[in-house]
Amino acid sequence: MPSQSIEDRRFSSIINSPQLDLSVVVPIYNEAESIEMLVQAIADSVRETQLSYEIICVDDGSKDGSSQVLIDLARRRIDLKAVILRRNYGQTPAMAAGFETAEGKIIVTLDGDLQNDPADIPMMLAKLNEGYDLVSGWRKNRQDAALTRLLPSKIANIIIARVTGVKLHDYGCSLKAYRSELIADMNLYGELHRFLPALAYIEGARITEVPVRHHARRFGESKYGLGRTIRVVMDLMTVFFMKKFLTRPMHVFGLGGVISLAAGIAMGSYLTIIKIFFNQNIGDRPLLILAVLLILTGVQLFCFGLVTELLMRTYHESQKRPIYRIREVFGKK
């Protein structure tokens, strides 16, 4: 039987309560050397707050023995849950697996490489308690390579802020605190964890950011390079679309279709009139091609709008997903 420290036993009674105050979710991919130090640092920092908590480390198919380190550690520690994925899925699915397992009323995420500082957690929780649904970390003094990491990230942050309408300085920072209801409302795909604040904003969350510490990587290496920029841009388009049109695609496609169709018909009518009444030859006029093109595009866009409208209904109704989010209801039941 693995032994527990006295401190662990003291906390076990709190930890086994029906709902925890806090779940700390950490995605892990080849971070064997940092795990033990990280888990201890999180525990030290969170115990300071007197909250009941759990730490969930999700091993994302590591090949360096991280999973074994985690399993051994989870046997020894009562506050640690190790979730081992079958293969490497990526940071977003790893975080989603952690969210699925989490029981806390508040969820904090951070990286498994000790770049985020667990000592910042109490400060983030305090901020959350000021009445926010999401508190995002801002790595003001980010310790990563300037040219390949900081510059693309700076540009990406400006674009994301513009496109999504959520004004944050640093979307890439994993250190964030959420209310768990918010997490339950958001579905993650692709590499959308970077857009969680934007998705949260779509769900009507109150969002803020606080400066956090950031350290250079001590062990292992970064899992990302420049290639990530392109994927971020693609994800950004998805988020942009979701934000604008998720519940009313016909307004976009239908409107475009109607305008295109109307312009096409106007040009076609003009050509028909001058052909019939003024007996002019219209066969060699570029306007004819444009008219045909606009009419076809218009019909296509319009039909596409109808189809997406159906798809959207399936999306919402199949999972009983409301098209609104209630913050609170006051008054008698």
Q: What gap in Å lies between CA 2 and CA 43, rounded to an integer?
A: 19
**Binding of ligand UDP by 222 (CB under 6 A):** yes
Phi and psi based region of residue 143 (left: phi greater than 0; alpha: psi -120 to 50; beta: remaining)? beta
Asked if 36 and 6 touch (Cβ cutoff 8 Å), the reply is no
User: In the complex with ligand UDP, which residue's Cβ is closer, 159 or 263?
Assistant: 159
The least CB distance from residue 88 to ligand UDP, in Å, is 5
User: In the complex with ligand UDP, which residue's Cβ is closer, 99 or 302?
Assistant: 99
Q: Choose the contact partner of 99 out of ligand UDP, Mg ion, none; CB within 5 to 8 A by kind.
A: none
Of 28, 57, 82, 166, the one binding ligand UDP (CB under 6 A) is: 28
Q: What gap in Å lies between CA 261 and CA 294, rounded to an integer?
A: 6
Residues of this chain that bind Mg ion (CB under 5 A)? 111, 113, 115
Q: What gap in Å lies between CA 230 and CA 217, rounded to an integer?
A: 24
Chain positions 258 to 277 lying near ligand UDP, rule: CB under 6 A, are none
Q: Choose the contact partner of 120 out of Mg ion, ligand UDP, none; CB within 5 to 8 A by kind.
A: none
Q: Choose the contact partner of 91 out of Mg ion, ligand UDP, none; CB within 5 to 8 A by kind.
A: ligand UDP
**Binding of ligand UDP by 113 (CB under 6 A):** yes
Phi and psi based region of residue 270 (left: phi greater than 0; alpha: psi -120 to 50; beta: remaining)? alpha
Phi and psi, residue 105, nearest 5°: -75, -25
Binding string to ligand UDP for residues 66 to 105, with x set by CB under 6 A, is what?
----------------------x-xx--x-----------
User: In the complex with ligand UDP, which residue's Cβ is closer, 43 or 301?
Assistant: 43
**Binding of ligand UDP by 170 (CB under 6 A):** no
Q: Choose the contact partner of 224 out of Mg ion, ligand UDP, none; CB within 5 to 8 A by kind.
A: ligand UDP
The pair of three-digit structure tokens given for residue 73, joined into one six-digit string: 């550690």
- Nearest partner of 80 among 154, 20, 147, 160, judged by Cα: 20
Buried b (16+ CB within 10 A) or exposed e, 25-57: bbbbbbbbbbbeebbebbbebbbeeebbbbbbb
Phi and psi based region of residue 55 (left: phi greater than 0; alpha: psi -120 to 50; beta: remaining)? beta
Residue nearest to Mg ion (CB): 115
**Binding of ligand UDP by 137 (CB under 6 A):** no
Instruction: Give SS3 for 66.
Output: helix
User: In the complex with Mg ion, which residue's Cβ is closer, 206 or 223?
Assistant: 223
The least CB distance from residue 232 to ligand UDP, in Å, is 11
The least CB distance from residue 108 to ligand UDP, in Å, is 14
End-to-end CA distance of the chain: 50
User: In the complex with Mg ion, which residue's Cβ is closer, 115 or 308?
Assistant: 115
User: In the complex with ligand UDP, which residue's Cβ is closer, 33 or 203?
Assistant: 33
Element (H, E) at 161: helix 151-164
Residue ranges binding ligand UDP (CB under 6 A): 27-29, 31, 60, 88, 90-91, 94, 111-113, 115, 222-224
